[in-house]
Structure 1
Amino acid sequence: MPLSAEPYRYALFVVLSVPLAVWAVVDGGEAQRLVATALLRREPRRSRLSGLAAVPIDLVTLAVTGYCWIGVVVNLAYPTRSLFGMSGEYRDSWGGPTLAGAWAVHALAGIVFLLLVPWILRAYVAVWRRVMGA
């Protein structure tokens, strides 16, 4: 599932969901309906305020999936951690004292994050569809 387009469409929707919910108050939910139809493959009810009900779920999901995506990037690209402002010292890290061992252990964590994100996003979309009546 991580190699399909579905989790990436869902991740884009998570990023856009809060601004769309706020904008729904102005346009009656039309932009939210169009984006949800395109990215989630379901058409929600058109409403000014129902999108605001999903904002707490949107914010929590944005934080959790953002953390997971950062975990994917930082762990798979372990030798480049110093570019992200993190410690580049691998001798005392998990899998050390060699760079190959540290990178292998962190790459496994990155793969776990990569496999976890689609399931988090799928659960989010299921809850969002229920809240929005899609």
Structure 2
Amino acid sequence: MSRTSQIVAAALAGALVLTAGCGAPAAPPASAPTSSGPAADSRAAITAVPTATVLALTFADGRSDRAADRIAVALGEAVELTVTSDVADEVHLHGYDLSGPVTAGGSATLSFTADIPGVFEIELEESGEPLARLEVS
């Protein structure tokens, strides 16, 4: 290689090194997900939904399977109380003044938030049969 060719090659290599970082930034690939605005924020705001505490009582042959029980739940807890009965009556939760009809062989569900502290009787209203006591604390 002649002296002139070496000088030209060195000059071109130097120019290439100096201009390599001067281009525009590379665009992200077309398939790259981008996020901005409300959509990104709403994903961050998703939280787990608490599940309700499920209480199941059965009234059969003239008595409740939990008549002597005091069932404890935490104050503020979501509760689903389901009563199955072999007689038609009305399920009543005292103190919360919640009630619902139950058919013979059927069930009734009372859904509520345990937001009143205390001990409350759950009974079959028409017959006066106690089913259990609910303790909220």
Q: Same fold (TM over 0.5)?
A: no
Higher relative contact order (CA 8 A, sep 6+): 1
Tell me the TM-score normalised to structure 2 length: 0.24
Tell me the TM-score normalised to structure 1 length: 0.25
The structure in which a higher percent of residues are strand is: 2
